[in-house]
Amino acid sequence: MIPFLDLGAAYRELQGEIDAAVSRVLASGYYILGPEVDAFETDYAAYCDARHAIGVANGLDALHLTLCAMGVGPGDEVIVPSNTYIATWLAVSQCGAVPVPVEPDPATHNIDPARIEAAITPRTKVILPVHLYGQPADMDPILAIARKHGLRVLEDGAQAHGARYKGKRLGAHGDAVAWSFYPGKNLGALGDGGAVTTDDDALADRLRVLRNYGSRVKYVNEVQGYNSRLDPLQAAVLRVKLAHLDAWNARRAALARIYLDGLRDTGLVLPHVPDWAEPAWHLFVVGHPQRDALQRRLAETGIDCLIHYPIPPHKQQAYADAQFGADAFPLASRMAGEVLSLPIGPQLSAQAAEQVVAAVAEAVLSR
């Protein structure tokens, strides 16, 4: 059996360090914010090459609170990818604003900068690219469009901890980056967690207030804020795991290399890595017109693959009210039918990846 991702194995590899960190928090008497959260914020900001990191409760809140802090509200529009996890859209909707989808570049699966300007209206406030699958989006053209139209840029980095764009770590290319520490992410907690990184002092200040009941001084509430604080137990775990992130991402990159080399002549659509990108390899996504049959064949040989994502946001019942037509966003719709994520993770052995290559090649070439 080759699991898609083995979170138990990840914990066991660091068990001594993680257990010690958790015990330290339990004994400290600090269970909301406090020194562990401060220390993680310092460490993570430094790692991301950003001035500030603000810990919040999860990735969705990181997106939502940042849009709030940017002043996004009812009547506003935010440009989002048509092919993303629904959280990107929900964060916009939670502000009372409208997500305006833009189709991806089929080669990279990331938002196509050439299609963004056509989607801008007088109501547009923010462009929200996603670094999907851990592959950095093409930030320079996006930032140029934002500057030209006076828009802010919030990046969804939930899948891309440690990735670099043109040599610089993701963290503050745009105005801010929203991060998720959901357990299966490259930097994953043992529960929910999230953060925002930014170089913008005013934005960071607003986020610190918004995440804690709109309060800077206890029982003094400046704005109608939220309860969305990073748990110090998770902050302590994240500090341990952050120290291993580069090494674990390097293991992912080595597995990606095995897949890229081994699957080159199979006719599968393989990830395209532009020369300016250093991906975090959160997912290794291939494309195949008979995706469902391929997934079934692999499951029969004990290889667990997933689909990211089977239904694009515009086809979800949650967005039925937006009344997108049957032909809306054909690229997102086509990808949802063809993408398949092969097993990848820091605890997957090279030997297991070779087994996946052999099984995929056999399944594809014997058809």
Ligand X SMILES: *Cc1c(COP(=O)(O)O)cnc(C)c1O
Q: If 0-12 CB within 10 Å is exposed, 13-18 middle and 19+ buried, where does residue 261 land?
A: exposed
358 — phi, psi (to 5°)?
-65, -45
110 binds ligand X, rule: CB under 6 A: no
353 binds ligand X, rule: CB under 6 A: no
18 binds ligand X, rule: CB under 6 A: no
Q: Which stretch binds ligand X (CB under 6 A): 58-66, 207-215, 255-263, 354-362?
A: 58-66
Q: How many residues bind ligand X (CB under 6 A)?
A: 15
Q: Give the nearer residue to ligand X in terms of CB position, either 59 or 312.
A: 59
137 binds ligand X, rule: CB under 6 A: no
Q: If 0-12 CB within 10 Å is exposed, 13-18 middle and 19+ buried, where does residue 193 land?
A: buried
Cβ neighbours for 227, distance < 8 A, ≥ 6 positions apart: 57, 211, 212, 213
Binding ligand X by CB under 6 A: which of 18, 54, 69, 87?
A: 87
State how far the Cα of 227 lies from the Cα of 193, in Å rounded to an integer.
13
88 binds ligand X, rule: CB under 6 A: yes
The minimum distance between CB 85 and ligand X, in angstroms, equals 4
The minimum distance between CB 135 and ligand X, in angstroms, equals 12
State how far the Cα of 212 lies from the Cα of 221, in Å rounded to an integer.
9
155 binds ligand X, rule: CB under 6 A: no
59 binds ligand X, rule: CB under 6 A: yes
Element (H, E) at 200: none
Q: Give the nearer residue to ligand X in terms of CB position, either 180 or 333.
A: 180
130 binds ligand X, rule: CB under 6 A: yes
Torsion region of 23: left, alpha or beta (phi above 0 gives left; psi -120 to 50 gives alpha): alpha
Contacts of ligand X in 158-217 (CB under 6 A) = 158-159, 180, 182, 192, 194
Tell me which residue has its CB nearest to ligand X.
59
The minimum distance between CB 283 and ligand X, in angstroms, equals 9
* Token pair 């029969």: residue: 300
Label the pairing between strands 164-165 and 168-169: antiparallel
The minimum distance between CB 262 and ligand X, in angstroms, equals 26
Q: Which stretch binds ligand X (CB under 6 A): 47-55, 64-72, 80-88, 289-297?
A: 80-88
Binding ligand X by CB under 6 A: which of 40, 44, 47, 85?
A: 85
Are 180 and 238 a contacting pair, CB within 8 Å? no
Q: Amino acid letter at 129?
A: P
State how far the Cα of 22 lies from the Cα of 39, in Å rounded to an integer.
14
Which residues make up the interface to ligand X (CB under 6 A)? Answer: 58-60, 84-85, 87-88, 130, 156, 158-159, 180, 182, 192, 194
